[in-house]
Amino acid sequence: MPAAAPPAEPPRDASAAARYGDPEARLGAVNDIVRVQLAHRSVRRFGPRDVTEEELTTLVAAAQSAPTSSNLQPWSVIAVRDPERKARLARLSGRQDFIAQAPLFLVWVADLGRARRLAARRGTEVHAADYLETTLIGFIDTALAAQNAVTAAESLGLGSVFVGAIRNSTEEVAAELKLPPHTVAAFGLAVGEPDPAEAADVKPRLPQAAVLHRERYSEAADDHLDVYDERLSAYNARFGLAGNWTDRVLARLRGPESMGGRHRLRPILESLGFPSR
């Protein structure tokens, strides 16, 4: 009986090649949704058109379709369109002007206040809300929801960029948005029509061999970091930027001085009603 033919090699895919900065990259299972995800990039320059209310409600519906731990749904989102408020939030978020330029700025809120108000209505307590596990659930579920919204936005022809610097001035942001106790702005998301003139592209990610472990974790995966440094250096050079991935990771995590004020986050969270014990 003749030997079976080896399985055909998946065809090269432009979206995979861009995602990994590797012209030989292949994926054997790709559809339109996956291509939208592979084409994701951060957008920091936006065109003149607004984000419609219909698009906004679709983004929120997509966000609400994300998984949520025990169906707690511990998040809220604040849609900011007012130019003066966006300008103030831009100043509080490291003076990033694209926040003010974007037609829509979404502030994603880890919201344990809703559950506490529910308990107050019933005359009961929610002591588990005081623990780190519940704080983590609040932030994780918020991130899952927001990422769903990003994919939905890109499928509608919109672009976006996450803004972690909203946590640079957590208390000031809470005051600006009149956040109630037991809520905190986890991150922002600038949304709008991408400006085609922006000098940016799909940024290569680590090779799968550096992040995909099988059965057990293997530090040998780090052997693939050098080739990624080369690919990211080449990407950065296209846009007049210097440095590789290793340099940027070590600089970002060097110490409290590299954290934009976020090294104070633990006591600030506690003051906002997240004791996280």
Kindly state the tokens that stand for 199: 């000098």
Question: Do 53 and 166 fall into the same domain?
Answer: yes
DSSP code, position 206: -
Nearest Cα to Cα of residue 111 among 153, 75, 70, 67: 75
Question: Do 82 and 172 fall into the same domain?
Answer: yes
DSSP code, position 26: B
Amino acid at position 274, single letter: F
Q: What is the pLDDT along the chain (277 residues), one digit of tens a residue?
A: 555 555 556 656 789 999 999 999 999 999 999 999 999 999 999 999 999 999 999 999 999 999 999 999 999 999 999 999 999 999 999 999 999 999 999 999 999 999 999 999 999 999 999 999 999 999 999 999 999 999 999 999 999 999 999 999 999 999 999 999 999 999 999 999 999 999 999 999 999 999 999 999 999 999 999 999 999 999 999 999 999 999 999 999 999 999 999 999 999 999 999 999 9
Question: Do 165 and 243 fall into the same domain?
Answer: no
pLDDT at 5: 54
Kindly state the tokens that stand for 234: 């080449």
Domain that holds residue 66: 39-195
Domain boundary (174, 195, 216) is at 195
Question: Do 86 and 190 fall into the same domain?
Answer: yes
- In a domain? residue 15: no
Distances (CA, A) of 208 to 37, 151, 204: 16, 21, 11
Question: Do 113 and 161 fall into the same domain?
Answer: yes
The answer to whether 25 touches 12, Cβ cutoff 8 Å, is: yes
Domain boundary (135, 161, 195) is at 195
Question: Do 146 and 60 fall into the same domain?
Answer: yes
Question: Do 56 and 190 fall into the same domain?
Answer: yes
Q: How far apart are CA 86 and CA 40, in angstroms?
A: 24
Question: Do 183 and 228 fall into the same domain?
Answer: no
**Order of strands, sheet of 104-111, starting from the edge strand that comes earlier in the sequence:** 75-80, 104-111, 183-192, 159-163
Question: Do 112 and 176 fall into the same domain?
Answer: yes
Question: Do 178 and 219 fall into the same domain?
Answer: no
- In a domain? residue 201: no
Question: Do 235 and 163 fall into the same domain?
Answer: no
pLDDT at 125: 95
Is 76 in a helix, a strand, or coil?
A: strand
Q: What angle is formed at CA 147 by the lines to CA 41 and CA 45, rounded to 5 degrees? A: 35
Domain count, the chain: 2
Q: How far apart are CA 63 and CA 143, in angstroms?
A: 9
The answer to whether 200 touches 172, Cβ cutoff 8 Å, is: no
